[in-house]
Structure 1
Amino acid sequence: MTTADTQEVGLLFEKTFRREPLGEYHGVEPGEGTSVAQASVQDPVSFVIEDTTLPGPSRLIAFRTSCILSAEGLQAKKDKIAKQGHGDAIQAILNRMTELWLAKSTVFEKNPRAKAMKFIALGVDTEYEGKGLAKELLKASMEKAKEVGCDAVTVVASAFATQHLFGNRLGFELMGRVRYSEFSWINEETGKEERPFENLVNPEFLEVYEKKLV
């Protein structure tokens, strides 16, 4: 994935994330996909697939966005959240998943200079589903993570299908889970405690996984 892909990735993200439990329940903010794409293109672990038989210029049909985490970068993000807040409810629950992962993971304990790849998002155009594109993207990302020296891979899984994939088929370890209906956060705009996902019950949990690469 390159900077030239960010617009198309952003548009496809906004279409496909609406099918995920969090996106379907909470909605997708305008420009959210572009922000995800721009954050993901910083590291060489995000990939796209194009259908070259299409006339173009828009040929992108699938993407897997990822980023590389370090102990220093995670601390900087924690400090930023402490000063500026989470931003919105989805970011708040995703940040909570990062906390749960870090509380159980030994990646940075064993090596403070370690790196971990985080899967951010996957999107496949509806017309191309069932053709193994997600599998190709996952394989490419995992291989690149090893190549650039990542010690582990982590992912937050919001849907039954991805939880089954990572937990049962790909050998990832469950590091933590949050029951959607019980999650609460302080809305920075109102100063009030809220349960933004109290009616999200299918699936019941948001889960975070890890797989060691070394």
Structure 2
Amino acid sequence: MTSTAPTKQVNTRPEHLVLRLMTESDKQEVASLFVKTFRREPLGEYHGVNPGEGDDIAAVSVKDPVSFVVEDTSLPGPHRLIAFRTSCIYTAEALKAKEDKIAAEGHGDAIQAILNRMTELWLAKSTVFKTNPSAKVMKFIALGVDTGYEGKGLAKDLLKASMDKAVETGCDAVTVVASAFATQHLFANRLGFELMGRVRYSEFSWVNEKTGKEERPFENLVNPEFLEVYEKKLV
């Protein structure tokens, strides 16, 4: 008779790679690592990465205690961060403030414009705030693993820590924008997230606030074909 007992998951992460919550003192390292690793993502590879984006990501990610980093304690330091999973918590009030800021200041650049479009699509389909105006939703912002540290399970460990934190902090759901085939497959087929919306890169257009002209900044980005946004309810 074959046993159906679950197999205990073995942690393959070396002991010197320490996973912990992100702190204020980590912002600069997270910002630098974001700029470095986002160039591998379809959006970053195609459009390029503005160094200031890393600073913005780090500043947003440290506001709520829901972002994680991995540091290699075998390195001499002081700069030892080699991976991160940044997140923030959305409330109805925070989303309204975000909307008001976009209306007043614009999107900033094409990448922010398409990411803001994904937020619109998610909110149009999601029932989280409609059924509970005081709900909290964790938003996965970015993931980065430094060169040479791939294949050590760091992305998986960071994801688990983030999902556990979402539950711990009383979040009603988690949402994420996935730009690459691998992450789209992961969230849709392995983690049980629901597809909430997608935009075909080649068809996306926005009005460049600096020139006043309509542009299609990703018209030749066809691999993958779509940018997708997902959600998973936790309650």
TM-score range, shorter chain: over 0.9
Q: Which runs of 5+ in 1 are unaligned?
A: none
1:146 alignment counterpart: 167
Which of residues 179, 183, 189 in structure 2 aligns to 1:158? Answer: 179
Question: Any idea what SS the aligned residue of 1:175 has?
Answer: strand
Distance 2:91 2:177 in 1: 17
1:189 alignment counterpart: 210
Asked if 1:206 is matched to 2:227, the reply is: yes
Over alpha carbons, which structure has the higher Rg?
2
Q: Which moved more, 1:51-60 or 1:11-20?
A: 51-60
Asked if 1:97 is matched to 2:146, the reply is: no
CA deviation string 1:110-169 (max 9, x = no partner): 100000000000000111101100010011111111111100000000000100110111
1:15 alignment counterpart: 36
Asked if 1:6 is matched to 2:33, the reply is: no
Give the drift of 1:31.
2.4
1:133 alignment counterpart: 154
Which of residues 108, 124, 139 in structure 1 aligns to 2:129? Answer: 108
Distance 2:100 2:35 in 1: 29
CA deviation string 1:40-72 (max 9, x = no partner): 000011000111111111111100000000111
Which of residues 189, 208, 220 in structure 2 aligns to 1:168? Answer: 189
Query: What is the one-letter code of the residue matched to 1:106?
Result: T
Question: Any idea what SS the aligned residue of 1:5 has?
Answer: helix
Distance 1:32 1:187 in 2: 17
Question: Any idea what SS the aligned residue of 2:51 has?
Answer: coil
Question: Any idea what SS the aligned residue of 1:146 has?
Answer: helix
Query: What is the one-letter code of the residue matched to 1:104?
Result: K
TM (norm. structure 1) is 0.99
Identity of aligned residues (%): 84
How many residue pairs get matched? 214
2:144 alignment counterpart: 123
Query: What is the one-letter code of the residue matched to 2:233?
Result: K
1:78 alignment counterpart: 99
Asked if 1:60 is matched to 2:101, the reply is: no
